Amino acid sequence: MQFMRARATARLTRDGIKKVVIAHDKRFFSVDAFASRKWSGLTCLDVVEETPAVVLDENALIGNVEYMQHVADKHQVSLRPHVKTHKCTKIANLQREHGARGVTCSKPDEALVFLQAGFDTLVAYPIINKCTLQKFLERAEGRYDKLTLMVDSAQGVEVLFNVVNSLPRVEKLNVYMKVNVGLNRCGVQPDGALQLAKEIVARDKLSFQGIMSHAGQAYGASSKRDCERIAREESELMKTVRDTLRDAGISCNQVSVGCTLTELAREEFGHITEIRPGNYVFMDATPLTKGLITPEQVSLYVVASVISVNNQYAIIDAGSKVLSSDAGAHGSAGTGNYGTARTCSDSMYQIEKLSEEHGWIKLPRSHDLEIGDKVQIIPNHSCPVVNLTNSVLLLGKDRACETWEIDAFNKSHPRIKYAQ
C-alpha cells in the first residue's frame, strides 16, 4: 500500500475554524482542523528507545477529538464515544472536556472503570448471564442514574427485569433497544422491534430511552462513497423503526448510531440524536485506505525495531501479541496485510505476516532496511493493539513524553471463578 501524496488549501471560516480540503487521486476529504493545531509527524522514531512500543501522538489525538466533537455540535447531536478503543480515563476526560455527553462501553468490568470515574455510561452489549448482571449492578450501586443498558431480545429483557427487580436500591434503569441494521451481529430485526419495545415498556423498573445501532458492515466497504451509502441506509432504517414505535404510542427519544467509518462519511444526520464512534481518536489503516482520512490524522502507532534481515524479509520485534492478528474489524479482509511500516527516510513497507513475537516485512529488490532500524507502524485496527497493552507512550506537543495507563486493561472478561 502506498499512501497518496496530497495537496491542501485552506481558508478561515467566520467561526475561526480553518477549512482544509485535501485532494488526492481525484477524491476529496474535507476536515475541519483548528488553526492552532500542527501534526507532529515522525518524531516518535526519535524518542522511543525500547521497542516494541505503542505510541500516541498528542497533536493528532487532540485534533481527532476536536474534529468529531465539531461534527456532533454542527449537527446538534450528542457524542457518546465508544471507549473500548482506548480503555483510558485520561482520553475519556479529554473527550468529555471537549463536549462528549458520556461514554459507550462493551463489557461490564470495562464499564465499571468509567462509571466509577464519574462518566455517564452506556453498556452497548447484551448481558444475558444473570450472575454477571447481578454482580455488575451490585458494584454499580449509587451510579444507576449514570447507567444505560442495552437489550436486543425478549430473553434479555426478562433477565434484566428479574435482576433489577431483585435489587431494591434500583428504582429504575435506563434501557436502549439495539436494532440490526445489516451487520447481522447483535440487534433485533427491524420488523420485530415493536414487539420487543412493548416488552420493555411493560416492565415498570425499565425506562425505555430509545433505539441504537452499529453499522459495522462499513468496515467491509471499498470507499468513502460506499461508507456514506451504508450510513444513509442505516439512518433510513432507524427512522422507520422510530416512527413505527411512535405510531404505536411508544416514546422513542433517542436514535443512537455508532461507527467511526459511517460518521466520517455521513452527510445527513436528520433524526439522529446521538453518535457513538470510537476508533476516531486513533484512526488506523482502515479509514486511511478508504479515502476517509490522511496519514497525518493517525494518532496511534507501534514503533518496532528490525532484528533480523534475510533475502526475503526484514523481521521486526512486533508480532501478533503487539499488533494483533486482526486484518480488519468484524472479520473483514481489511487491507490485505498486517500494517504498514514507515522508516525515518519515509520509505514504506508492508507487514506481510505475523508470528507471535515477530513481524515479517516483505522486502522489494531494493530496500533500505538494516538491523537496528526503527519503523513506525500504522496498524490495520487500532482497537486490539491497545487491548494488548497496559500503557501507551504519549508524545506531547513539545516532544515531552509521559506514560498513560490503560485503566480498563484486561477488562474484557470477568475474573474466573468457580461455583462453591
Nearest to 293 by CA among 37, 58, 11, 60: 60
Domains in the chain, please, with CATH?
60-281 (3.20.20.10), 295-405 (2.40.37.20)
- Mean predicted confidence (pLDDT) in 206-228: 97
Is a pLDDT exceeding 80 seen at residue 363? yes
Nearest to 151 by CA among 131, 122, 191: 122
What pLDDT does residue 328 have? 64
Distance CA 78, CA 80 (A): 6
Contacts of 243 (CB under 8 A, 6+ apart): none
pLDDT tens-digit series, residues 250-283:
999 999 999 999 999 999 999 999 999 999 999 9
Contact between 369 and 258 under an 8 Å Cβ cutoff? The reply is no
For 404, phi then psi, to 5°, come to -110, 125
pLDDT tens-digit series, residues 4-37:
333 333 333 333 333 333 222 222 223 333 223 3
What pLDDT does residue 23 have? 28
Is a pLDDT exceeding 60 seen at residue 133? yes
Least confidently predicted of 149-163, 210-224, 368-382, 387-401: 387-401
- % of the chain residues with pLDDT over 90: 80
pLDDT tens-digit series, residues 100-113:
999 999 999 999 99
Helix 130-139 and helix 154-165: axis angle, to 10°?
Answer: 50
Distance CA 191, CA 405 (A): 44
Distance CA 299, CA 39 (A): 9
Is a pLDDT exceeding 60 seen at residue 392? yes
Contact between 256 and 275 under an 8 Å Cβ cutoff? The reply is yes
What DSSP state is assigned to residue 367?
-
What pLDDT does residue 26 have? 26
Per the structure block, which three cell numbers stand in for 16? 475561526
Distance CA 306, CA 51 (A): 10
Q: What is the dihedral of CA 269, 103, 262, 219, to 10 degrees?
A: -160
Instruction: Collapse the DSSP code of 155 into the 3-class scheme (helix H, G, I; strand E, B; otherwise coil) and give the result.
Output: helix
What pLDDT does residue 370 have? 96
Contact between 60 and 299 under an 8 Å Cβ cutoff? The reply is yes
Q: Tell how far CA 279 is from the center of its chain.
A: 3
For 40, phi then psi, to 5°, come to -100, 0
**What is the pTM for the complete model shown?**
0.88
Distance CA 160, CA 37 (A): 46
Contact between 94 and 122 under an 8 Å Cβ cutoff? The reply is no
The H-or-E segment that residue 67 falls in is helix 58-74
Contacts of 191 (CB under 8 A, 6+ apart): none
Instruction: Give the length of the chain.
Output: 420
The H-or-E segment that residue 163 falls in is helix 154-165
Please say whether the dihedral angle defined by the alpha carbons of residues 124, 115, 390 and 45, taken in this order, is positive or negative: positive
Per the structure block, which three cell numbers stand in for 412? 474484557
Distance CA 76, CA 101 (A): 12
